[in-house]
Amino acid sequence: MKKIALIYGVTGQDGSYLSKFLLKKNYIVHGVKRRSSSINTHRIDKIYQDPHEKNKSFILHYGDLTDTLSIKNLIQTIKPNEIYNLAAQSHVGVSFQIPEYTANVDALGTLRILDSIRSLKLEKKVKFYQAGTSEMFGRTVNKFQNEKTNFYPRSPYAVAKVYAHWISINYRESYNIFASNGILFNHESPVRGETFVTKKIISGLCKIKKNKIKTLYLGNLYAKRDWGHAKDYVEAMWKILQYKKPDDFVIATGKQYTVKEFVNLACKELAIKISWRGKGLNEVALDESGRKIIKIDKKYFRPTEVDSLRGDSTKAKKILNWIPKTTIKELIIDMISNEI
């Protein structure tokens, strides 16, 4: 019998990679998409192309994590073996502007799925994956963060994700639900949302190279992140649910770069020679002809920043035999080649 998966957030970056991954593993994949005024399925259109020829193992449903009725109905109808909760208002910066909505989706949305599993008495049938995040570590004092590191969330997004993390553990301990948390560090890809910094840098530099724009505006160049590739990270999600018991795992590369270093690496791959001048809000990057191709705009700074994140995924390596396969250079090359 084919296994059945239900993915919340199927139209997002990770949802699209995970769908492809599970279909290759011969799953039947149900995905939940939101109703929107313009089409929001571009990342999964290749899987779900022509309605007449459509992939019979890939089925989309309308739904929303703010709609308890639809969540319960869908889980009752599909009775999946695995539920992946990847749906979220996932932008840290935006979460300061829509904090209540972010909490509703990212925190309460998780509770709604878990409580549907409980009230439908599907504890023995369904395994649940929660998309946790390194942002939960926030203002950390540890050089590396692992499963034992304390959380200190620094944004409405991260606070909501801490709730989702702990409610998953609580439902695991209270009701014996197979609920596991992946604590994933930043992961990127060619289909990363346009407003996240890596995609913004790659796409901005490619446009500068083609003379389509003159300047790329960025915020804090000195934040440090541990960036991996989404295709490696969805494999970890699956492995987490195949483990014999529910548990929590940090998924990361263990390497760290500043935003500025990411710009430098991308420029190197694009053969754009840059030099940095100035400080603070006046810092700029000049190209060979002296044009200011990168400037700082304070609107991209956050009220509270997460300065440094670097994950230690020893536990995932030991127990799940998971290691990241893609280097930052390969990630950048993949993103650039798709952009071009």
Which partner from the list ligand NAP, ligand F7E, none does 149 bind, CB cut-off 5 to 8 Å by kind? none
Which partner from the list ligand NAP, ligand F7E, none does 87 bind, CB cut-off 5 to 8 Å by kind? ligand NAP
> Nearest distance from residue 137's CB to ligand NAP, in Å?
11
> To the nearest 5 percent, what fractions of the chain are helix, strand and coil?
40, 20, 40
Q: Which of 64, 147, 283, 334 binds ligand NAP (CB under 6 A)?
A: 64
Closest CA relative to residue 105, chosen from 188, 186, 34, 178: 34
Which partner from the list ligand NAP, ligand F7E, none does 105 bind, CB cut-off 5 to 8 Å by kind? ligand NAP
Q: Check residue 9 for interaction with ligand NAP (CB under 6 A).
A: yes
Catalytic residue among 11, 102, 110, 133: 133
Tell me the one-letter amino acid at 189: S
Q: Which of 6, 87, 202, 336 binds ligand NAP (CB under 6 A)?
A: 87
**133 has catalytic annotation:** yes
Say how far apart CA 243 and CA 238 lie, in whole Å: 9
Helix 230-242 / helix 13-24 crossing angle, nearest 10 deg: 60
Q: What is the DSSP letter of 251?
A: E
> Nearest distance from residue 55's CB to ligand NAP, in Å?
18
Neighbours of 133 (CB within 10 A): 25
> Nearest distance from residue 23's CB to ligand F7E, in Å?
24
Say how far apart CA 8 and CA 130 lie, in whole Å: 10
**327 has catalytic annotation:** no
Catalytic residue among 157, 171, 233, 257: 157
Say how far apart CA 181 and CA 163 lie, in whole Å: 12
Site mask for ligand NAP (CB under 6 A), range 10-39, x = bound:
-xxxxx------------------x-x---
Q: Check residue 92 for interaction with ligand F7E (CB under 6 A).
A: yes
Catalytic residue among 135, 188, 198, 326: 135
Evaluate the CA torsion angle 231, 157, 255, 191 in order and state its sign: positive
Q: Which of 90, 110, 253, 326 binds ligand F7E (CB under 6 A)?
A: 90
Residue pair 258/224 in contact by the 8 Å Cβ criterion = yes
Neighbours of 177 (CB within 10 A): 22
**330 has catalytic annotation:** no
Burial of 227 (0-12, 13-18, 19+ CB in 10 A): buried
Instruction: Report 197-226 residues binding ligand F7E (CB under 6 A).
Output: 197, 200, 218-220, 223, 225
* DSSP string across 261-296: HHHHHHHHHTT---EEE--GGG-EEE-TT--EEEEE
Say how far apart CA 228 and CA 256 lie, in whole Å: 10
Q: Which of 5, 88, 201, 263 binds ligand NAP (CB under 6 A)?
A: 88
Which residues are near ligand NAP by CB under 6 A? 8-9, 11-15, 34, 36, 40, 64-66, 86-90, 105, 131, 133, 184, 186-187, 193
Applying CB under 6 A, the residues found at the interface with ligand F7E are 90, 92-93, 133-135, 185-186, 195-197, 200, 218-220, 223, 225, 259, 300, 302, 305
Query: What is the set of active-site residues?
Result: 133, 135, 157
